Amino acid sequence: MNAKRHVLVIDDDAVVGRSFDRVLSEKGYEVDTALSGEEALKDIEAHDYDVVFTDIRMPGMDGLEVTERIKARCPWTPIVVITGYGTEENEAKASVLGVSGFVRKPLTPEMIESITLKALEKPAEELAPANEPIATAEAVAKPLGGWRKASRVARNAGLFLAAPFIALGYIIALPAVGFYMFAKLGYEAYRKNHAAK
């Protein structure tokens, strides 16, 4: 590695940050750690990072909110969520935000190194989507066919471009759905009331 690659690790558990620091510093990376989302956002303002790892459950700002804010400022920075609490709901939210993938604790030194290499070797739009968790060095190293890479690029670009419209759709649709449900319940109560008389 000619120039040191800069990595940010966000986790309220200092042991996780130290683990990344120990493994990656020995391999020539420069590693910064942050114990909260707020601290991480200050670091993002001051430095350019080649890859960001964030825990999902933290006091105050959670990993998804941190991801959203980092992506707003640096949309092509690869972000990998490290968590012991992977859920389909969180993975769906993260996928819309453009997260590169989920890595579940506990992490081994080999996994840390492999995942970091994977994130740095590929442009952000070609990284594995969040619903395909990166779990082992073998999974990280698995080769992809050209058509599959193109498919992932198109899907991730589509998600990135569609996210604001999806959010707007929810904002517009929720009041209409709520009004419909309220009117339906009122009508049913009215019918029951008059049927009883």
Q: Is the pLDDT at 78 greater than 50, yes or no?
A: yes
Integer CA distances (angstroms), 186 to 178, 192, 194, in order: 12, 10, 12
Q: What is the pLDDT of residue 102?
A: 76
Between these two residues, 142 and 58, which has the higher pLDDT value? 58
Backbone angles phi, psi at 143, to 5 degrees: -75, 150
Q: Is the pLDDT at 2 greater than 70, yes or no?
A: no
The string of pLDDT tens digits covering residues 158-197 is 777 877 877 777 688 778 777 777 788 888 888 888 776 6
Q: Can you state the angle between helices 37-46 and 63-73, rounded to 10 degrees?
A: 20
What mean pLDDT do residues 25-31 have?
Answer: 92
User: Where does residue 7 fall: left (phi above 0), alpha (psi -120 to 50 degrees), or beta otherwise?
Assistant: beta
CA quadruple 79, 80, 85, 87: dihedral positive or negative? Answer: positive
Query: Does this model's pTM top 0.75?
Result: no
- Highest average pLDDT, of 36-40, 136-140, 189-193, comes from 36-40
